[in-house]
Amino acid sequence: MFPEFVHSLAEHYAHLKAFHGCRPVSLSSYYEHGLQGQDADQLVLQFQAMFPEVPATDLNAAIGSVGDRSTRERGAIWLVGDDREMIEQYGHYIIQGSEYLMALAAHLGVSPRGEDYRFLLRERGIPTVLEVDVPIEIVQWRDIEEVAKMVLSVWGQEVTKRRVGSTPSPCYVIRRTIDAQYIRNHTHPDKIPDPHRGYIQYRNRQRSCDMCAADTATEDAGAARTGT
Ligand SMILES: [Zn+2]
C-alpha cells in the first residue's frame, strides 16, 4: 500500500516546497542562473579570494583532506522541507555558507591572527534562506518516500489524536541545477541559533541584498502604476 501512496503523491504534486541556506555575496546569480550544484573548483577560488594570505601548500593540504568529497558532492544541492528547521537546526549553512568552504576552514584551523577560519567565513556574504518550489520530477525517489512517510505520520497523529512529537522534515539532495523560475522568495533571518557555538543566538546584521533592493524597486513601480 505504501508504494501506491508514494506514486499518487508524486503524481498529484508538481512541486515540493523546500528551503536552502547559504551565505552568498550577491543573490543576482541565483535569480539569473538558478540554484547550481556544488562546484569545488569555484569554491576553492572563492576561498582563495577571501583568504589570499593562506599559503598554497596549506590550502592544497586542506583540499586533499576534504578528499573525495569534492567529487562525491559535485553538482549536489541540499535543501530541507521546513524553513524553521532550516534556521533552528542547520543554521551553520546560513551563517557560514557552503559545507565545502566550512570543511576547508575547519582543516586550516586557526589563522595567524588567532581566529578560527570557520568564524572568518562570517565576514563576507549575506546570510540567506532561499524558498524554492522544487519540480517533483527532479526529486530522488527515496526523498519522495520520506515526504510520504512524513505525511502519513502527521495524518496518523491527527486521526488518532496522539502526538508522538514533531516529525522531522524531509531533506532533499538535488543533483542538477534548479532553474531560477523555481526560486519563489528569499529571506535574511535576523536571529539564527549557531550550531558551532552551542546554539547560542547569532544576530544577523546583513538584512538586505541586491535582490531585496530589486524586489522593492519592482513593488514601487507596481504601486506607482496602480496609483496606490
Ligand atoms: Zn535579499
The pLDDT assigned to 228 comes to: 44
**Residues paired with 22 in a beta bridge:** 128
Residue 216 Cα to ligand 1 middle (Å): 10
The pLDDT assigned to 227 comes to: 47
Q: What's the structural domain count of the chain?
A: 1
Judged on CB neighbours under 10 Å (0-12, 13-18, 19+), 216 is exposed
Residue 188 Cα to ligand 1 middle (Å): 6
Q: Which residues, by Cβ under 5 Å, contact ligand 1, an ion?
A: 209, 211-212
Chain center to CA of 173: 11
| Cβ neighbours for 187, distance < 8 A, ≥ 6 positions apart | 83, 128, 129, 131
Task: Give the burial string for 1-23 (b: 16+ CB within 10 Å, else e).
Answer: eeeeebeebbeeeeebebbbbbb
The pLDDT assigned to 71 comes to: 67
Q: What is the pLDDT of residues 150-198, one digit of tens each?
A: 888 888 888 888 877 777 788 999 999 999 999 999 999 999 999 999 9
Helix or strand or coil: residue 39? coil
The pLDDT assigned to 224 comes to: 53
Residue 187 Cα to ligand 1 middle (Å): 6
Residue 208 Cα to ligand 1 middle (Å): 5
| Cβ neighbours for 227, distance < 8 A, ≥ 6 positions apart | none
The pLDDT assigned to 213 comes to: 72
Question: What residues of the chain score a pLDDT lower than 50?
Answer: 227-228
Residue 207 Cα to ligand 1 middle (Å): 7
Range of the domain at 103: 2-226
The C-alpha cell that represents 179 in the structure block: 532553474
